[in-house]
Structure 1
Amino acid sequence: MGNKALMIIDIQNDITKNYKKIIDRINQAIDWAVTENMQIIYIKHNNLSPGTRTFKADTKGAELVTEMKVVSDNIFVKTKANALTSEEFTEFIEKNGINEFFIAGADATGCVKSTCFNMTKAGYSVHVISDCVTSYDLKKMDEMYAYYVNKGCEVKELKDYMEGADRPVDDRLARTGTKWRQSMRLDGFGLLVEDMGKMIRFYRDVLGFEIKEEENTSNVYLVKDGTLFLLYGRKDFEKMTSRRYEYIKGLNGHFEIALYVDTFEEVDEAYKKAVENGATSVLEPELEPWGQRTCYIADPEGNLIEIGSWNKSYETKDLTEGC
């Protein structure tokens, strides 16, 4: 065996059912890796958190899915997001001199993300097979591809690796109109609001946004945690653009605002405070299979807000986050 390995992360019965969309390509990747004389490594997650029933050791949910080809005995168990926290796994790769990894599996926003971050940080060469990873939230996949590239991973489709083509995933995204570009950065986002006073009071008094403008202002301009946050009156915006727009009544399912707190307890506290002060409850706080505690509320005009935590500080959550 050479110094390369295909690593399949957390394709277990309790993982997102979106794995079914990529399982055939994962099996193709396994066949390809075998022909390339790579080590084939399977990573399994065991959940030790008392507040969840998924990924529990010695349950069917923790077993590898039956649709996946298992061609080696290199099966290692982790209890944290980062695969390098498994001592048996790290001993195996050190013993066999493996320093280059091709990554497949799930969740792209959790355990795959954390493992890629920590492996590149440790000096390993990491290739993410873009069409062999998935997530419970497929809308975040393009964001994750960009994240992997930004952290030093190579990202390509399986056929590009099989053919040896040098066409990274951001070139593929360019053809769909969703290319991630270093020169174009997300500056912020805005909400077009009906009742400016009510919305200012909610975001300022309930969620703690440091809004300085008066409640009768025509717009709010706030930089929060490095991100621009705008509130803009609907009538003012229509006047500026000389257009009329349609607005959803009830819950707005087009997007969410994601907020982070450092501890699980703070998720519960923030949810309780928001609901007591007029927010609509959408999802009560719960511990998700990927290790995040999260909840959803809606602001007075129906915009979805997620409040979540990996039970670690915002500054360090990328180091170990995941399922």
Structure 2
Amino acid sequence: MVGEYVCTLSEELQKRAKEEINEDPERRAEDIQHIRDWLKHQPHIKARTDDWTILRFLRGCKFSLQRTKEKLDMFYTCKSLCPEWYKNRDPQDKKMRAILELGTCLPLPGYDSRGRKVVLTRWGEFDPSHIGLSDLMKVSLAVLDVWMEEDEQASVTAMVMVEDCGGLTFSHLATFTPTFAKKASTIIQEGYPMRPKGLNYINTPAAFDTVFNIFKTFMKEKMKRRTHFHGSDLDSLHKEVPKEVLPVEYGGTNGTIEDIKKYWLQRVDARRDWLIEDEQYGVDESKRPGKAKTSADLFGIEGSFRKLNVD
């Protein structure tokens, strides 16, 4: 068996996995093998086929075999059709390093009261005249990929996001184009198995509504319902995300941003070989059965904006 899975979950989390995401320990190995066999018969997909990678996707799709196949295909298709986010992810690269040191994407230590991982993003930390949004996304996705590879609990309990928009200027906001919004929304919602349960915006500038309305066009309905705006009100944020899991800079008791930045620098460095090796996985559209997919198929926005204008 390839990279055989060994469960590290507590009994309580195993129970939750059964109740919330339909995981049957007696059928788990069979389900993993079913997906592995399916991947072997997809001439266009070159995928990781270890137990853990497949299991993460099964969990993210609540053990629906059909949805797992669709999500895996989408994940590897996005990787290949979006090379600017998935190629050259060496954390020792000078540019990558500079962005990593900003700490724009930080999964926080521990979990919230429901056992979920909280991921903090700090969009106002980069200088748009020196750093492009594609480079920022490349680094953010590298951190998220390392986190998901190393965190079994979150594969069951899901995640919550805190988006700090403090420091965002018009120059920042101008880089968040409809094309970027569509691409990011497609990859995160359709490609990743991480099940976001809450989206919390804090420190939003006046012009933020314009940008959010673009993103909202591409958001699933359930994600719109899980979105909360807190302005600069930390008390409001703490009602959704407890102080115990937030850094001191956000009125919390969970270490400092500096400590958390250092931790993720170390983790990404430790996974350098894994990140570099990961670049080989993706799709070869010339081998896809039926019609090849293009960036326009996945990330095209024309139809969405006809709809937006009517609204």
What TM-score comes out, normalization by structure 2 length? 0.27
Larger Rg: 1
Q: Which has the higher helix share?
A: 2
Asked which structure has the greater RCO (Cα within 8 Å, sep 6+), the reply is 2
Larger strand share, 1 or 2: 1
